[in-house]
Amino acid sequence: LTRFLFAELVNNTPLLFEYQSETDTWQSSEAVQAEGASTAAGTEGTFLCAAHAGPDCVMVYSGPGVERPVFFRPRFPHNPNGGGDRLHVYGDGSAAVVRSTVIDEPGRPRVKVVAGVDLYGFGSVVGGDWQLASTVPGELVEGFRKPYAVMTGLLSEREGVVRLVLISNCRGAWDIVWLSYDRARGEWWWVPVPDWGTKGLNVAGIAVSSTFSRLWPPAAASSCTTTTSQ
């Protein structure tokens, strides 16, 4: 039995779509608003992002603890390091916030460099706000601080390991940063990706996206332990 789920905002209404291979059919369910942070999330539950614009998002939860899908709009806590340019990447009930600083040099196009990466989650409660789970250690960030003009990302979790891929472009040259976080160990790994010579290649993001679920990089030498926030 194979199930495929995704959430979408349709006419300002969060809907959960589900495909079941056993019957080869699609079903859709309208999500109802969660009544505060009072429902415990089951281990078999699923969090999906129905819509997002920067720090604002609509999350949908389906699974144990609720009779039908529920939606809520979580808020990020105040972060004293949260100033400057920020990219929000959502996936599998987590959110990564990539903080960047701008570099302005006279006579050259403006570029950015990554200043920090924070990982957020919901813990065991449905309907609550984002909670800081961990921050990528500064020494790892220094390893992949390269100028970029635009950036996007992918976020996934499997078997307690969160994987974050950041795809950026600077003056036509693509760069890919792969980060893994082991929740049980509280460790981050930066997995260096070989230079593929992708200057001018406009399908780099598609190539990574299509293989993201199949790739499982081994623990690399570039690793660091960080304290997990409770």
Instruction: Give per-residue pLDDT as tens, 13-56.
Output: 999 999 988 888 999 999 999 887 766 776 678 889 998 887 88
Domain encompassing residue 55: 1-73
| Domain final residue pick, 73, 99, 125 | 73
Residue that terminates a domain, selected from 58, 73, 88? 73
Which pLDDT does position 154 carry in this prediction?
A: 92
Say if residue 230 is in the same domain as residue 208.
yes
Q: With bands split at pLDDT 50, 70 and 90, how would you rate the model's confidence at 221?
A: very low
Same domain, 98 and 112: yes
pLDDT in tens, 168-197: 999 888 889 999 999 999 999 998 877 665
Looking at the fold, whether 58 and 121 belong to one and the same domain comes out as no
Total count of domains within the chain: 2
84 and 142 inside one domain: yes
Element (H, E) at 205: helix 204-211
The pTM of the full predicted model, rounded to 2 decimals, is: 0.79
| Helix H or strand E encompassing 138 | helix 138-143
Same domain flag for 87 and 132: yes
Segment 103-131, tens digit of pLDDT: 887 878 889 999 999 999 987 778 888 99
Rounded CA-CA distance 25/88 in Å is: 33
Last residue of a domain, one of 44, 73, 102: 73
CA 26 to CA 17: how far, in whole Å?
A: 7
Return the residue matching tokens 């980060």: 179
Q: Which residue has the higher pLDDT, 211 or 146?
A: 146
Separation of alpha carbons 91 and 130, rounded Å: 13
92 lies in the same domain as 202: yes
Q: Does 223 score more than 50 pLDDT?
A: yes
In Å, the largest CA–CA distance within the chain is 62
Please indicate, yes or no, whether residues 53 and 87 belong to a single structural domain of this protein. no
Q: What pLDDT, on a 0 to 100 scale, did the predictor assign at position 103?
A: 87
Q: Is the pLDDT of residue 157 over 80?
A: yes
Distant-in-sequence, close-in-space partners of 190: CB < 8 Å, separation ≥ 6 = 140, 143, 144, 177, 178, 179, 220, 222, 223
Alpha-carbon span 109 to 166, nearest angstrom: 21
125 CB neighbour count, 10 Å cutoff: 16
Please provide the average confidence, as pLDDT, over all residues in the chain: 82
